[in-house]
Each structure stands twice: as C-alpha cells, then as structure tokens.
Copies of this chain bind each other. A is one copy, B any other.
Amino acid sequence: MKETISNTVRAEGLIHALPYIQAHRGKIVVVKYGGNAMINADLKAAVIQDVIFMNCVGIKTVLVHGGGPEIEAMLNALGKESRFVQGLRYTDEETMEVVQMVLCGKVNKDITALIQRSGGKALGLSGIDGGLLQGKLLKSGGEDLGLVGEIETVNTQVLEQVLESGAIPVVSSVALGIGDAAGHTLNVNADTAAAQIAAALKAEKLVLMTDVQGILRNVQDPDSLIKQLPRKDLENLKKDGVVSKGMIPKTECCSLALDGGVKKAHIIDGRLPHALLIELFTDEGIGTMIEAEKNA
C-alpha cells in the first residue's frame, strides 16, 4: 500500500505543477547555462532533465552556454600563455581557434549528446551557423581585446525553425565577424548572447544560471534575497552598492533583455539541483526575478 500512497503524492506533485505548465506552454524561455551547473556531473544531469521536461510540456527552450573553465584547461594543455588587458584575457587568433574548438566542438556537443541520450532532441549550434550571431570587435575603453566581439545582429530564423521542429537549440557563444571583424570568428560573452537572443526572440523569460543565490540586499545575509524587482529599481540598487561587482554585468544583461521586449529576467542559483524546474513549476520562485512590466 505504501507505493500507492507515494504515487498519489507524486500525482499531486504533478497537479501542483499544472497551473505553471498551463501558464508557460508555448512561450519561449532562453536559459544561460553556466557555472557549477555545467561542471558538477549531478547538477549537469539535473539541468538536462529540467530542459527536456520544459520542452516536453511545450515550452520553447533555448540553451545558451559559454565554457570558461574548459577553455582555460585546453589553453593550459596546449601550453598557450595568456596576456591580460584590463583583467580580461586578450583573444589572439590562436586563442580564438581554441575558444571556438572547445565551445563548439566539446562543450556544445557534450550538452547536445546528453540531451539526445536522455531522450530529448537537441541541435547544437553556434553563432556561426546560419549567421545566427554576427558581431564586430568589442571596443572596451579604447583597449584592444583582440577577437572579443559584441553582437550586432541576431538572425532568429534558424532558432525559430529548430524550435518549430520541436528540438532544443543549444547555442555556443561564438559569433561570425562582420565589419571590422570580417573573416574572423569572435569570442562573445555568453550572458550577453543569451540576453540578445532572448530579446530578438521576444522571449517570455531570460534565465541566467549563476553560482550565487540572486541579488542579496546584504551580501553577508542569505536571508536578504530580493525575490522580485521592477526593472526601474536596478539603477538605484547599483547606486546603493547592493548590485556590485560580478552582479553588475548580470543585471546589465537582464536590462538588455527586458528593454528588448523580454517579460521577465531571472538570476537563479544553479547550484541547487533542478533550479529551473523549481523556478518554473512551483509556487515560489528561487533567485531574483526582474520584471519589465513594473517600469511605468
């Protein structure tokens, strides 16, 4: 009889999720996948399951990833020494070749293979494919960062066809160079790529998976998590120093997405197993949700 009870609990769990499934079906959610959730094998498996679940219940899910640690490891293995400019790694031709190879050939295909093996359907793409992401050289304070790019145009056609076919597009943050970068491929920030893709697709949500809880009013106090935030409050939080350091670029990506037409941007803690499912399908979100609608 024990199993019956437990199955009933499970069934109730599904029913608990039902209103959320009804709300999200048919919507586009762009997930920036990264941090521990991409390193720890158990977390990784859980993310893959979450994404397949999202796809199964009709959410059009786009997975965008970078892969800093894996690039680092490969550069080391190749004995390639890095030069840093303003604390950022200078991306020369050789480094770019490694970046492209690791992101598109290793990280991207590993994620894609995991989804396929778990019974999902995924297509591993990069910004190169179908001209999905096209960019120019990033000018950062006049300093030359080599083949680091900023995205000029997002060609959503490829993504739309893949989503329409029912598959999950997995996208590497590598762009096709145009203008001053013509003839090169470019290293672009994955958070920004995710934000720009979300904006171009007019996604319902952008979800950034991070290794922090979200925006904390007091960094020392885990209970000070800001759960919900209108986009217009971001500037003040920055002025007050609540949003600082590594959280600044994260919130800038959220702003970029929201200003481009995305409804909600989430900064969630990827260290929690099934963080995506908990965020999307239970009665309390996790991390910080920034909303476009509260602006006016």
* A268 located at the interface, meaning its Cβ lies under 8 Å from any Cβ of chain B in the complex: no
Cβ contact within 8 Å between B167 and A130: yes
- The smallest beta-carbon distance between A167 and chain B, in angstroms, is 6
The stretch among A1-9, A83-91, A141-149, A236-244 that forms the contact with chain B is A1-9
Copies of the chain in the assembly: 6
The stretch among A34-42, A119-127, A190-198, A252-260 that forms the contact with chain B is A119-127
Cβ contact within 8 Å between A49 and B18: yes
Q: Which residues of B contact A103 (CB under 8 A)?
A: 105
Cβ contact within 8 Å between B128 and A112: yes
Interface residues of A in 102-144 (CB under 8 A from B): 102-106, 108-109, 112-113, 116-117, 119-126, 128-131
The stretch among A53-61, A199-207, A226-234, A288-296 that forms the contact with chain B is A53-61
Mark A residues whose CB is within 8 Å of B.
Answer: 3-4, 7-19, 21-22, 25, 46, 49-50, 52-53, 56-58, 77-78, 97, 100-106, 108-109, 112-113, 116-117, 119-126, 128-131, 157-158, 161, 165, 167, 174, 176, 182-183, 185, 272-274, 277-278, 281-282, 284, 286
Cβ contact within 8 Å between A117 and B281: no
Cβ contact within 8 Å between A14 and B12: no
Q: Which residues of B contact A12 (CB under 8 A)?
A: 274
- Known contacts A105-B101, A123-B129; decide if A117 and B182 are in contact (CB<8 Å): yes
- The smallest beta-carbon distance between A151 and chain B, in angstroms, is 15
Cβ contact within 8 Å between A176 and B116: yes
Which 6 A-B pairs rank lowest in CB-CB distance, beginning with the nearest?
A105-B105, A13-B13, A11-B274, A101-B105, A11-B277, A104-B105
Q: Which residues of B contact A286 (CB under 8 A)?
A: 4, 7
- Known contacts A56-B58, A109-B126; decide if A13 and B9 are in contact (CB<8 Å): yes
Docked pose: A77 CA to B17 CA in angstroms? 42
